[in-house]
Amino acid sequence: MTAIKSAWSALGGDPALLARLTTVAREGALDARLPVRQLARACAGVCALAAAELAARRAALGEVPGVRVDDGAVAAAFHSERLLRIDGRAPVSFAPLSRFWRTADGWVRTHANYPHHRARLLTALGLPRDAGTEDAAVRFAGLTALEAEETVQDAGGLAVALRTPREWRAHRQAAEVAARPLVERERLAPAPTRVLPPLDPGAAAMLPAAGLRVLDLTRVLAGPVATRTLGLLGADVLRVDAPWLPELPDQHADTGFGKRSATLDLAVDRDRFEELLATADVVVTGYRPGALDRFGLSPGALAERRPGLVVAQVSAWGAYGPWAGRRGFDSLVQVATGIAVTEGSAGEPGALPAQALDHGTGYLLAAAVLRALTEQSVDGHSRCVRLALARTAHWLTDGMTDEIRPVAAAGAPYTGPDAWLTEADSPLGRLRHALPPVTFAGGPTGWPRPPAPWGTDPAGWR
């Protein structure tokens, strides 16, 4: 099954609608040993198709608008955090302690971009707060890769031993991941059929998520990509963070388009959160499975208090298996699942040309929300959709092919992102950023608002 067909099938989409989707293939975009270009094209493509489907239903169109996916636009979007410029300044990507380290028997990769993760990593290694890369390298060299992984994980930090594809397939977590569908879709409690206000097909841009309220409880990077996309499509997206966990400024600038940003202490301001939930249509969470349950934010508990809600969850490893409770990021999932070995050379581990697991999963998550809203307009019910970076990695490494038909054109080779970049003023400064890859005939071509400084909006709906 081709990448787009398999993704659309995982979303429960009508296969006949695939005829409305065409692609512009560009050699050189997202080049890798693994079929990254196909994955990226599929994820953006099915998201655009799900948006067009919902728009057609709301505008009472006789036919779903056509969707055209260009590899160039997709490649630029999958590099959005690297291409962003703020008043001409390039963003900070990975911190010095977020990298590969040689161990006594192989390699381990760490993630320490956030201050609290850095502190836990240094504590696990028995190093002072001001220790640098040379000190950490000495410590890692005295441990095996698995010892390093467990030592850092036990301290609440993030480290994963480099595994070959064969070693990952033999792991219990890999078996659990492979046993799940790419997109987990679940009906929760019964609820009335969702009645969506009609869209004007003659408007300047049809916004299929217009009038919908999305509570965004996500961090880095897949969840924010999903909610950024829902904001593009017209939703009122309110990102809510704990006041003591600020987002990295450059990361917030990249993923803050089309949404507002507020802070809320769930332990203290619970009544305010319940007021938000009472009129929310969608809740998107990106924390470790179960981490929010103590606040009554499990899918079942949310749907009980807000019948008809769509709950969308994304995690690194999935809500199952021995690693269900582990923290994780795209770079670490690549290392665990054998991708870093496949993309490496000369005994050195490598990486995908973009954080494709994060971006791809983000667009799939947005697509799953859109499809759930369409399905609710037919037969109601609260809904829950779940995705995991590790499951997306399994899809990437499991023989994906690229035979989607029809292809609109074999475009010129990809020589860079310039054609898919634009500039805009914002409260953060002059921004250069990637254009959205998700659009359809008559749909939006840009976000309704630029990002604002983190946590500066009121915790309320527009």
Q: What is the DSSP string of 317-384?
A: S-SSSTTTT----HHHHHHHTTHHHHT-BTTB----SS-HHHHHHHHHHHHHHHHHHHHHHHH---EE
- ∠ Cα 10 187 231 (to 5°): 70
Stated as kind and residue range, the H or E segment containing 67 is strand 67-70
Q: How far apart are CA 25 and CA 292, in angstroms?
A: 41
Residue 291: its pLDDT value, please?
Answer: 82
Query: Running DSSP on this structure, what letter comes out for residue 89?
Result: B
Give the sign of the dihedral formed by CA 253, CA 255, CA 260, CA 262.
Answer: negative
Residue 416: its pLDDT value, please?
Answer: 95
Q: Which residues pair with 313 in a beta bridge?
A: 285, 386
Residue 443: its pLDDT value, please?
Answer: 97
Asked if 409 and 418 touch (Cβ cutoff 8 Å), the reply is no
Residue 461: its pLDDT value, please?
Answer: 97
Q: Which stretches of the chain score pLDDT less than 50?
A: 403-407
**168: which residues sit within 8 A by CB, 6+ positions away?**
174, 336, 337, 338
Residue 399: its pLDDT value, please?
Answer: 64
Q: How far apart are CA 54 and CA 46, in angstroms?
A: 12
Residue 408: its pLDDT value, please?
Answer: 53
Residue 234: its pLDDT value, please?
Answer: 97
Asked if 283 and 277 touch (Cβ cutoff 8 Å), the reply is yes
Cis peptide before 65 (omega within 30 of 0): no
Q: Three-state secondary structure along 206-254?
A: CCCCCCCEEEEECCCCHHHHHHHHHHHCCCEEEEEECCCCCCCHHHHHH
Asked if 245 and 271 touch (Cβ cutoff 8 Å), the reply is no
| Chain mean position to CA 210 | 21
Question: Using alpha carbons only, how large is the chain's radius of gyration in Å?
Answer: 21
Residue 1: its pLDDT value, please?
Answer: 54
**178: which residues sit within 8 A by CB, 6+ positions away?**
394
Structure tokens at 370: 């859109």
Q: How far apart are CA 284 and CA 310, in angstroms?
A: 8
Q: What is the DSSP string of 426-454?
A: ETTEEEEEEPPS---TTS-SS-SS----T
Residue 401: its pLDDT value, please?
Answer: 57
**110: which residues sit within 8 A by CB, 6+ positions away?**
97, 98, 99, 101, 121, 152, 157, 158, 159
Residue 338: its pLDDT value, please?
Answer: 97
Structure tokens at 249: 């400024």
- What digits encode the pLDDT tens for the residues 384-426? 999 999 999 999 998 675 544 444 567 789 999 999 999 999 9
Structure tokens at 412: 């010129």
Q: At what angle do helices 3-10 and 36-58 cross, to 10 degrees?
A: 50
